[in-house]
Amino acid sequence: MLGSALTFTTIALVGIIFFFGTKTGEDLREWGAGTLLTTQHDYWAPYMFLPEEKLNALKEQIRNPEVINSETQNVTDEPEKQPVTVTLPEKPKELVELEDIDVSKGSYYFKGKIMYISDPKRVQLLLTNRKDRGDLLDEFVKKSNAIGIVNASGFADPDGYGKGAQAYGVVIHDGKILQGYNPKSGETALGITYEGKLITGSYTAEQLVKMGVRDAMSFRPQLIVNGKNLFVDKPAKSWGIQPRTAIGQKADGTIVFVVIDGRQPGHSIGASMNDLAELLEERGVVTAMAMDGGSSSMMLHNGEAITKTSCPYYRGRYLPNAWAVI
């Protein structure tokens, strides 16, 4: 018994020295704090025992991410003078193409899917019409016959039991403002115009409509704007490692959906925002923004899940809306 107690004490002391006396241990505590701060369990972050200045820096990076407007013209209340256009590829492409993602970063790893949509005009925001709860992604598909689909907006989620009936932030559907928001709240808008141009930035709903936006929602953070990777010089730990969803557009107009699985040891731990931005930048994406992540992250193709949700329910979560290929 005494030997067992001594062994346990020795292991505990070694663990304490590792986590609090080494650079690697400090890095792990920062990763843990950053991850917790992006969940509904953010109140646990102080128990990573980081210096107050580091914890406050992580909070600041999450609450007030850098925001750049992808369009600097026609953002006033003046009517739009010229339509925004996208030049589609000359050679015909398949409407939807898929790519497997399998990345090892040494201390963690992640898997996921990328969906490329060659015709940006085929991408629409689908909305739940329920009052009591949102829709599952496969329910959105049944209502719309969507070819491909991913989750979009965040929503109120007390204790993980949110039913996804109402989205946070702006909601524009078919050119109509269904829900406005104050861009100073920290959320960032992402919309697609009638011509298929992806726009993201700190715009009001009214400005987006004047710019020709057909569908829009909001979340954060932006990942890439006009070719600039906003996470190049940012500490990866600030947003932690999580399941991720993002929407972007390449220079040729191709819309890109990406979903990274996470919280599943043996399959996929998850990705940082830096990982997500780098992944998209490497594939020629010039503008992109993160969607809701965590257990909401999921992608379907032809009605079948092609990513593995971290939600305990294999069909995923109830959602207020979703980006879909129609």
Mean pLDDT for the chain?
86
pLDDT tens-digit map of 148-188 = 999 999 998 887 788 999 999 999 999 999 999 765 566 89
pLDDT tens-digit map of 226-269 = 999 999 988 777 799 999 999 999 999 999 999 999 999 999 99
Structure tokens at 317: 């979560």
User: Parallel, antiparallel, or unpaired for β 228-229 and 213-219?
Assistant: unpaired
* 21 φ, ψ (degrees, to nearest 5): -120, 5
pLDDT tens-digit map of 125-139 = 999 999 999 999 999
In the chain, the amino acid numbered 169 is G
Confidence of residue 8 (pLDDT cuts 50, 70, 90): very low
pLDDT at residue 36 in the model: 59
* Helix 23-37 with 52-63: angle, nearest 10 deg: 40
pLDDT at residue 7 in the model: 52
pLDDT at residue 62 in the model: 73
pLDDT tens-digit map of 28-44 = 666 566 565 566 556 66
Q: Work out the burial of residue 7: count CB atoms within 10 Å of its CB; fewer than 13 is exposed, 13-18 middle, 19 or more buried.
A: exposed
| pLDDT for 206 beyond 50 | yes
pLDDT tens-digit map of 45-103 = 675 666 777 667 666 777 778 889 999 865 555 544 444 556 655 656 899 999 999 99
Question: Which is more confident, 55 or 142?
Answer: 142
How far from 57 is each of 21, 48, 63, 291, 296, CA to CA, in Å? Answer: 21, 14, 10, 23, 26
Structure tokens at 137: 């992604």
